[in-house]
Amino acid sequence: MLDKKVIELLNDQINKEFYSAYLYLDIANYYTANDLDGFANWYTIQAQEERDHALLFLKYLQINGIPVELKAIDKPDKIFSGHIDPLLAGAEHERYVTSLIHNIYDAAYGVKDFRTMQFLDWFVKEQMEEEENADKMVNKYKLFGDDPKSLYLLDQELAARIYSAPSLVL
């Protein structure tokens, strides 16, 4: 049986992951409206990943016999005034998600919930990758974004990203 606080945090994380998907779809919409289809592709795929993360948390609770409570998903409220703004928002959001995963891990550790800690190990590693990717996007834009030709090439690079479902097996 899972600890009540751990269950609450895991259930809340489902909502946070779906919010992340909404945020990344909003960012993709921004880039589509600005004719940066490669950036839009990158964030659309990012939204798919976040949706799948939510489903992994959902499935974990279900496997453990815990009823899942789906909550309302907040509307993204970021306003972007330049092409770098969504990238900065994405990087900031990934650091926030990392803090959420660490909070759940800490709660599981506190009650010696080794099963949940093992489940979360994948997310800890995933968040390291997510933060690295977000930071690289910001850095690449800072290096190339002011030059139209370089921005075009960066957009083409991001257009090549394809979706790959998470490799976590429950």
164 pLDDT above the threshold of 90: no
Alpha helices in the chain (DSSP H): 4-33, 37-63, 84-110, 114-144, 148-159
The Cα–Cα gap between 51 and 42 comes to 14
Confidence band, pLDDT 50/70/90 cuts, at residue 106:
very high
The one-character DSSP state at 112 is T
Tokens 């009650």 belong to which residue? 111
CB 86 within 8 A of CB 80: yes
The length of the chain is: 170
The Cα–Cα gap between 130 and 35 comes to 25
Structure tokens, 115: 């099963």
pLDDT number for residue 12: 98
168 pLDDT above the threshold of 80: no
Confidence band, pLDDT 50/70/90 cuts, at residue 100:
very high
Averaged pLDDT, 94-105: 98
Cα-Cα end-to-end distance for the chain: 17
